[in-house]
Amino acid sequence: MEFTIALIKGDGIGPEIVDSAVRVLDAVSEKTGVKFNFKSYLAGGSAIDAVGQTLPEETVKGCLEADSVLLGAVGGEKWNSQPPENRPEKALLGIRKEMGLFTNLRPAKIYESLSDACPLRKEVAEQGFDMVIVRELTGGIYFGERGRREGKFGPEAYDTEAYSVMEIERIAKVAFETAMKRKKKVISVDKANVLETSRLWRETVHRIAEDYPEVEVEDMLVDNAAMQLVRAPGRFDVMVTSNMFGDILSDEASQITGSIGMLPSASLGETTRGMYEPIHGSAPDIAGQNIANPIATILSAAMMLRYSFDLPKEADMIEKAVNDTLNAGLRTVDIYDKDTCEGEPLGTVEMTDEIIKRL
């Protein structure tokens, strides 16, 4: 078996953490015989510096030709004066659009060995949680009609939310398929007591649920979901929600794990090809110092094996190696606690070495 992976290392810590994930994939390759071919492309600030464009044509072509894309992160102070259409973040929106990626999958889980980092009450943290948020990524209010106009009380601004049945159906299917591979439980989050788009969302999710009789489905209003995430995060397994609610709730979910350097994500479309990236940014404050936590990117590579390449055993292998490394008390500085950890914090390269040792 052979797969081509387009690498976009990006800016800041991007090159360091993508190099770590590539080393882990190479080690998986050695152990299993599955072959990964890597091709590097520019996007974001580094692309602006090299060719003046945040998303060069060649990068889009490379992403569309590859079996999947692994991205570090883009952006930094240096490129903040670029015009809006050439800002580094625009590269991400451009790739998502060109690849037709309408789903964002964000797992948020607490590692037993890191439960001290969780900002929730000790008894809640100790119960643990392990959820996946399935966020609709290309529709809703972020893409609706907007503008300024003269209103009843003077000048006003407006944004509109629209969702088609097709857009809701396809994201609901992703949620139910994801649930079938997990605990067979979906919580659909909406604001159906107020919004018409949410009422259509609810109807459509329940219609799709009929095709998945084994999956339990529950509706939850978004305000309640925000509260339940901090009161009883263990209630969630798969959460499916719209673009804006998913944006907010997935950040809330990542914060309650207490470790931004640990969380991976996947963006998927109709085909198996996806884009995989850590949820954190390019962390310019720590770039080039060999102190970034590579785990979020390594786990993003594991998600790629699971969701795009159908290699669940190889994905498990990486996730287990990460878990074993953490259980051995080894930490990068962002998750290091001098009272509970052995020795000194490890650098990016050394943490990667330890994970590879445990594959």
CB-nearer residue toward ligand NAD: 300 or 308: 300
The three-state secondary structure class of 238 is strand
Minimum CB–partner distance for residue 84 and ligand NAD (Å): 13
Closest residue to ligand NAD, based on beta-carbon distance: 281
Q: Total number of residues binding ligand NAD (CB under 6 A)? A: 21
> Whose CA is closest to 355, among 332, 333, 329, 323?
323
Report how far residue 103's alpha carbon sits from residue 40's, in angstroms, rounded to the nearest whole number: 24
- Asked if residue 73 binds ligand NAD (CB under 6 A), the reply is yes
Minimum CB–partner distance for residue 291 and ligand NAD (Å): 7
Q: Which residue type occupies 130?
A: D
Residue 255 burial (C-beta neighbours within 10 Å; 0-12, 13-18, 19+): middle
223 catalytic residue (yes or no): yes
CB-nearer residue toward ligand NAD: 269 or 281: 281
Q: Select which of 97, 130, 142, 336 is catalytic.
A: 142
CB-nearer residue toward ligand NAD: 76 or 264: 76
- Residues 6 or more apart whose CB falls under 8 angstroms from that of 200 comprise 163, 165, 168
Among 62, 233, 246, 261, which residue sits at the site for ligand NAD (rule: CB under 6 A)? 261
Six-digit token string for 177: 């398929």
- Asked if residue 286 binds ligand NAD (CB under 6 A), the reply is yes
337 catalytic residue (yes or no): no
> Whose CA is closest to 55, among 70, 43, 69, 71?
43
- Asked if residue 191 binds ligand NAD (CB under 6 A), the reply is no
276 catalytic residue (yes or no): no
357 catalytic residue (yes or no): no
Q: Which residue type occupies 13?
A: I
- Asked if residue 24 binds ligand NAD (CB under 6 A), the reply is no
Six-digit token string for 240: 């499916």
The three-state secondary structure class of 162 is coil
247 catalytic residue (yes or no): yes
- Asked if residue 292 binds ligand NAD (CB under 6 A), the reply is yes
How many CB atoms neighbour CB 289 within 10 A? 13
Active-site residue list: 142, 191, 223, 247, 251
Q: Would you tell me which residues interact with ligand NAD (CB under 6 A)?
A: 13, 73-76, 89, 92, 260-261, 277, 280-286, 292-293, 296, 334
